[in-house]
Structure 1
Amino acid sequence: MQQQETPTVESIAALVDHAILKPELTDDDVAADLDLAGRWGVFSVCVRPSDIARSVARLDGTGVATGTVIGFPHGTTSTAAKTAESRRALEDGASELDMVLHIGRLRSGDLAAVTDDVAAVVAVAEGRVVKVILETAYLSDEQVVAGSKAAEAGGASFVKTSTGFAGGGATMHHLRLMRDAVSPAVRIKASGGVRGLATLLEMRAIGVDRFGTSATETILTDVQRLAETGTASGASDASSY
């Protein structure tokens, strides 16, 4: 469990992977979101694979890393496809990979297949951060635990709740299950429904290390307001990711 601290814009921004993943986003939309991420100094952006190169170029000099998604959003592509996608993403400049595990295999109890799928992407990443998305909305508690353990067995750096596209999102219950299921060496990422500062801080207090959200500006503006007035607005973002 993480020790609570007084939030600052810098400390909260350092926990954020700003999500730029909606399929309908135009080039101008993506550029605006990349500029927002650079302006706030978040840890990273998580972009669609086709946007990696432009993200790396536009964020050059900002200190904001570029991550991307693999097998997104369903996780049902073959391991060969996931590894090929991972290689191309790394060639284009991605520094972190958020892969969706094979949800159907996990629900079928084929944990060896799930572990091998993760391990193949981890091998391609060659030491770079790999986050494994469980898609908790589709899983029982037992499957959340089993998926977390399989991700760790495959060498994942993080286990992550959700894509944000399956209905539902990160919950305190699932995050506690995930934190308890893996060793301290594996970190936890909450995504889907992280729309406000209060939610983020509550999750941080139980050991969540990173947050995927499109509500970055809402959250960080609330941090600023809290520092200035002692009161956050409590406003929330309408999007699911």
Structure 2
Amino acid sequence: MHLEDYIDHTLLKPTATIAEIKKLCADAIKYELYAVCVHGCHIALAKNELNGSPVKLAAVVGFPLGAMTTEAKVFEAKECISNGADEIDMVINIGYLKSGLGEFVENDIKKVKKAIGNTVLKVIIETCFLTDKEKETACKIVMDSGAEFVKTSTGFGKGGATYEDVILIKKIIGDKVKIKASGGIKNKESALKYIDLGVSRIGTSSGPSLLL
């Protein structure tokens, strides 16, 4: 097992500078990380910086609140792909999920997935705001939507990934979709534990540090 193959090296803070995005990409290439994950405005820059390397490029959509219209998410996802994104990490409409509007939430994801075709779609359910029952509902919606991943967190809520949430998610989804744990993962030991629990991808702003 090579830990670098699991890491989405991430920079999503609103103050991220051009120089910091360039360093993110350079570090991902240097340490042979799986992907970098950035905002849509940085996709073209990151694509140029990655310069044909094997490192994948992921874009966040509807981030971090998930509360924009489906049409806005679809447009954002398509534009990110046209600018060079290889994967999309989208946020569900959390308030609608908590309102019992599961059909809307599923349709929201399905329309983005339809728009991006075979591009990998990771769906952020923002576990810190959900009850266990709502987490179960969200996971089932993701499974039914055609997306490839359930992702725990944006890193901008009141909490990030937890072992307990990953155990719960894995129990619900089995091997039907993959899991990306993100938010607060800062060291190698915790990353390895998440992988042992069944995670296929780690979202972290501390990518190179996890390899030490």
**TM-score relative to the length of structure 1:** 0.86
- CA–CA separation in structure 1 for the residues paired with 2:128 and 2:210: 24
Give the superposition deviation at 1:36: 0.8
Give the superposition deviation at 1:185: 2.7
For 1:185, the equivalent position in structure 2 comes to 176
Q: Which protein is bigger by CA-based radius of gyration?
A: 1
| 1:144-177 residue CA offsets vs partner (Å, 9 max, x unmatched) | 1110110111111000000000121000111111
- CA–CA separation in structure 1 for the residues paired with 2:197 and 2:142: 20
Partner SS, residue 130 of structure 1: strand
- CA–CA separation in structure 1 for the residues paired with 2:179 and 2:65: 20
Q: Determine which of 149, 160, 168 is the counterpart of 1:169.
A: 160
Q: Determine which of 101, 109, 119 is the counterpart of 1:128.
A: 119
2:88 is aligned with what amino acid? L
Pairing 1:33-72 to 2, within 5 Å after superposition: 33-72=24-63
2:183 is aligned with what amino acid? G
Aligned CA RMSD, in angstroms, stands at: 0.9
1:99 is aligned with what amino acid? M
1:162 is aligned with what amino acid? S
Matched, 1:142 2:130: no
- The percent of aligned pairs where both chains have the same amino acid is 36
For 1:109, the equivalent position in structure 2 comes to 100
Give the superposition deviation at 1:20: 1.4
1:110 is aligned with what amino acid? L
1:174 is aligned with what amino acid? D
Q: Determine which of 81, 84, 87 is the counterpart of 1:93.
A: 84
Partner SS, residue 14 of structure 1: helix
Unpaired runs of at least 5, structure 2? none
Give the superposition deviation at 1:208: 0.5
1:114 is aligned with what amino acid? V
| 1:21-80 residue CA offsets vs partner (Å, 9 max, x unmatched) | 111011111111111111111110001100001111110232101110000000001000
Partner SS, residue 202 of structure 2: strand
| 1:193-237 residue CA offsets vs partner (Å, 9 max, x unmatched) | 1111110111111101100001112111x2xxxxxxxxxxxxxxx
For 1:204, the equivalent position in structure 2 comes to 195
2:78 is aligned with what amino acid? R
| 1:103-144 residue CA offsets vs partner (Å, 9 max, x unmatched) | 001111111011000000100111110000001110001111
Matched, 1:20 2:11: yes
Give the superposition deviation at 1:183: 4.1
**TM-score relative to the length of structure 2:** 0.98
Unpaired runs of at least 5, structure 1? 1-6, 223-241
